[in-house]
Copies of this chain bind each other. A is one copy, B any other.
């Protein structure tokens, strides 16, 4: 026991969850700047557009699953993107609740502009790693993500 009454001190700067958070925010922040100024798109909006580029025609719910963004947030972002005519929406005739979303022509041109810039930035970011280190980093992230997901499920069951 120290004289400060703290039985053990947490060193925030060395705490993994904190370091991940800071790193992630820094990285996402810089990259968001590249399209925020040019197209006035938020990170959330860009992620929606990104999955629609990958999976044209999916529903809002599927977008939510793929981006890990709350469905209410998706709903509002979608209506904003519709207003700005960056995406288009139809409804599934087989199931009239289900929306089918895709990028509009304008949305596609924005997409085509943002994607290379994003990859360029990713490259610029990762250039401090060699190929072997990239593979390692990628592998470690995947494994940690999977493990964290398993932990999360455990907590929910208890």
Give Cα A124 to B148, complex, Å: 9
* Structural contact, B118 and A23, CB atoms closer than 8 A: no
B145 and A54 contacting across the interface, CB-CB below 8 Å? no
Are A5 and B145 in contact (CB-based, < 8 A)?
no
* Inter-subunit contact A66/B125 (CB<8 Å): no
- Within the complex, what minimum Cβ distance (angstroms) separates A109 from chain B? 8
A141 within 8 A of B: yes
Q: Chain A interface (Cβ within 8 Å of chain B)?
A: 4-13, 15-31, 33, 47, 50-51, 53-54, 56, 66-68, 103, 105, 108, 111-112, 115-116, 118-119, 121-122, 124-129, 133, 136-138, 140-149, 151-152, 155
Q: A10-B53, A17-B122 are in contact. List 20 more A-B contacts (CB 8 A).
A: A6-B53, A6-B111, A9-B53, A9-B54, A10-B115, A11-B54, A12-B50, A12-B51, A12-B66, A15-B50, A15-B118, A16-B138, A17-B118, A19-B141, A20-B20, A20-B141, A26-B148, A128-B144, A128-B146, A129-B144
